Amino acid sequence: APCRAALGHGAAALSLGPGSATLRLPEEPRFPALALAQLPAAEARSQLQALVFGMAGCIASLERRLEVETLAFSCSTEKNAVRSQQVFLPDPSPRKSRASGSALPAKRKVPGESLINPGFK
């Protein structure tokens, strides 16, 4: 973890030599310098390819997790907002009366209209 932190904030020094390289972490005295040998081109290519595809897989996985967490957070936020609005807002449909047992709105009778056949006289 300290090695990763040192690399993360750029406290690493890389010295290149003929056919090799040395990686030093000056802020971490308990970690010795790391000698890196040069690989043949074919082996280096396959290792670099595996590294790049592995990193791409990790990024895709992190993006999916972030998308799921963002979706879950936005859904829970919307549910909470709806619940809080329901507590404070009056009933949006004024036709419904909580005191009446009927779900249908009462229809007004026009004078002279037939009770058996509404809409006709």
| Domains in the chain, number | 2
Provide the pLDDT for residue 50: 93
Rg (CA), the chain: 36
Interior angle at CA 107, CA 103 and CA 108, nearest 5: 150
> Closest Cα to residue 35, out of 63, 8, 14, 56?
14
- In which domain, by residue range, is 68 found? 40-75
Say if residue 12 is in the same domain as residue 34: yes
Q: How far is CA 118 from CA 45, 47, 103, 109, in A?
A: 86, 84, 20, 8
Q: For 5-45, what is each residue's pLDDT tens digit?
A: 777 777 778 888 888 888 887 776 777 788 888 888 899 89
Provide the pLDDT for residue 38: 86
Say if residue 30 is in the same domain as residue 45: no
Say if residue 32 is in the same domain as residue 22: yes
Q: What is the mean pLDDT of the chain?
A: 76
Residue 106, pLDDT > 70, answer: no
